[in-house]
Chains A and B, each alone.
Chain A
Amino acid sequence: MIRALFTAATGMTAQQLNIDTTSNNLANVNTSGFKKSRVDFQDLLYQTPRMPGAPTAQGAEAPTGIQVGSGVRPASTQRIFSQGDFQQTDNPLDLVIEGDGFFQVLRGDGTTAYTRAGSFRKDANGRMVNPDGYALQPEISIPTQAINVSIGTDGAVSVTLAGNNAPQQVGNIELARFANPAGLNAIGRNLFLPTSASGTAIAGAPGSQGFGTLSQGFVEMSNVKVVEEMVNLIVGQRAYEAGSKAVQSADDMLQLANNLKR
């Protein structure tokens, strides 16, 4: 059968993934701490009916040869960890990381997950937890009699207790970094898990050795830019269309070949 049919189909499949990824980005345009993804494409293997440098009939050498490609494949979906915009909330337990780093939360199964979404709250025991109830690591408990919580840019959490004007430190927030954050495994709910590609987490205090600093009373918005995603949608849709035209043309040619025999 004609190769072009399958080649064009790889293009259409690839563009479908492109649209899927773009749609997910757009769906999360308002998700705090969300980081957009991008699909990177690569061409597939080539068949080489004539090698470059092969002798031609006249005894000369073909300078370029003939190579017929077999389409395209997605090489990776890469997560882009650029900074999202800040939204002021005035909630004292909303935190943003300005710069590199992730908050560490303890999941129900005892593993640590990493997140950029810094909207924390208190659970029944006063611990700082994320919206899913996963406790921030290292654990920080805010006493019930606290009337004011302040979190410094370096992660120091201090509270003012009722009847006592002197603030009292109750803990330090630590951040984690990865050599290759793009290699983290997204598991949904704004959480990431380390993989062998991301490297292991390096923990440290905010503001130290390449870590970002914290700001209280803000949340980090998604870094999705709607215009950019719209352009991606247009490109993806048109590329899909181009693939479908190639399928049609290849089909027409097959039909012509079949009609040779009357």
Chain B
Amino acid sequence: MIQGVYTSASGMVAHQTRMDILANNLANVDTPGFKADLVTIDQSAIPANLMSTPFAPMSTVEVGRPGLNLAPGVLKTTGNPLDLAIVGPGLFVVETPQGERYTRAGNFVRNAEGFLATPEGFRVLGADGPVQVPDSGLRVDSNGRLSEGGSLRFVGGDSLDGLMKVGGTLFAVVDGAPPPAELPEATVVQGQLEGSNVSVVMSMVEMLATMRTYEAYQKTIQALDQTVGQAANELGRV
């Protein structure tokens, strides 16, 4: 059959995945600390040993390695003293039953034992273990130091390579990758929350482009189908 049909079909599949990722970004337009996934569409690699043969297979289209949009989210003033936002690089460290997880979402609460925790109850870690919220209230200075001594713990840097999303606005270390570097301090603002960094406008434009590209592939398949149909039905007519 015609190779072009398969190439176009791979394009439709890739754009469907792109649409899935865009829909996830849009669903999280109001999720604190959410970082949008980027999508690219790439040409798939042709195995090197086939490259030089005269009838090398045509490449297909696939979803590229998107990575994350690390742009800062909008800071929202909430006035809630347990809301913390990191300005610039850095991630909070929280303790989960599965091990340490990292997050930019600073909508913390005080749990029944008086520890600073995520809404799911995972304790936030400071430089010397879980952070206790004093009875007089939590006070964090702009470098992440606590009024009662000690400081919050931060990791990461300019990139989040080696981390993957695990849901719950948390990041985990990819199997086999080294843990993220410790940051001695980060710029923290109290009483503010970092919103999602999803841009509705950009997502809408990308969604339109995805839809129309998908349509173009569909038309290509239809045209190829018609060509083959003519070859089969009209040329073959005796």
Contacts and interface: CB of A to CB of B under 8 A. Distances in A.
Interface string A43-61: 1111011111100111000
A189 interface: no
Nearest to A18: B30
Given A40-B32, A239-B30, A252-B211, A2 B16 contact: yes
Nearest to A48: B164
Contact of B167 (A7, A42, A179, A236): A42
Contact of A256 (B105, B168, B207, B215): B215
A26 B215 CA distance: 44
Contacts of A249: 19, 207-208, 210-211
B37 interface: yes
A71 interface: yes
A45 B167 contact: yes
B113 interface: yes
A70 B120 contact: no
Contact of B30 (A15, A46, A68, A210): A15
Contact of B200 (A80, A199, A238): A238
Interface stretch (A117-125, A137-145, A147-155, A240-248): A240-248
Interface in A206-259: 209-210, 235-236, 238-239, 242-243, 245-246, 249-250, 252-253, 256-257, 259
Interface residues of A, number: 71
A202 to B, nearest CB: 10
A235 B31 CA distance: 12
A129 interface: no
Interface string B21-64: 11111111111101001000000110110000000000000010
Given A48-B164, A53-B174, A249-B210, A41 B111 contact: no
Contacts of A49: 17, 63
A165 interface: no
A183 interface: yes
Contacts of B119: 40, 42, 75-76, 78
Contacts of B162: 52-53
Contacts, number: 213
Given A52-B177, A69-B37, A242 B112 contact: no
Given A72-B28, A235-B30, A44 B19 contact: no
B7 to A, nearest CB: 15
A82 to B, nearest CB: 6
B27 A245 contact: no
A199 B31 CA distance: 28
Nearest to A6: B23
Contacts of B142: none
A10 interface: yes
A246 B26 contact: yes
Among B26, B208, B222, the one with the most A-chain Cβ atoms within 10 Å of its Cβ is: B26
Contact of B218 (A52, A58, A238, A256): A256
Given A7-B27, A41-B28, A66-B65, A259 B174 contact: no
B164 A52 contact: yes
A243 B28 CA distance: 10
Contact of A253 (B19, B30, B80, B113): B19
Interface string A7-30: 110110011001000000000000
A259 B167 CA distance: 35
A68 B175 CA distance: 18
Contacts of B65: 50, 62-66
Contacts of B208: 249
Contact of B136 (A42, A58, A210): A210
Contact of B174 (A51, A78, A262): A51
A155 to B, nearest CB: 19
12 contacts: A11-B28, A41-B28, A42-B120, A43-B167, A63-B161, A68-B37, A69-B165, A71-B27, A76-B120, A179-B114, A242-B200, A246-B22
Given A67-B165, A80-B80, 19 more contacts: A8-B26, A8-B27, A14-B27, A41-B28, A44-B167, A46-B166, A52-B177, A57-B44, A64-B67, A65-B65, A67-B66, A71-B27, A76-B120, A183-B111, A199-B113, A242-B29, A242-B200, A246-B26, A257-B218
Interface of A: 2-5, 7-8, 10-11, 14-15, 18, 38, 40-46, 48-53, 56-58, 62-72, 75-76, 78, 80, 82, 179-180, 182-183, 196-199, 209-210, 235-236, 238-239, 242-243, 245-246, 249-250, 252-253, 256-257, 259-260, 262
Please give me the 3 A-B residue pairs with the lowest Cβ-Cβ distance, nearest first. A11-B27, A69-B24, A4-B23
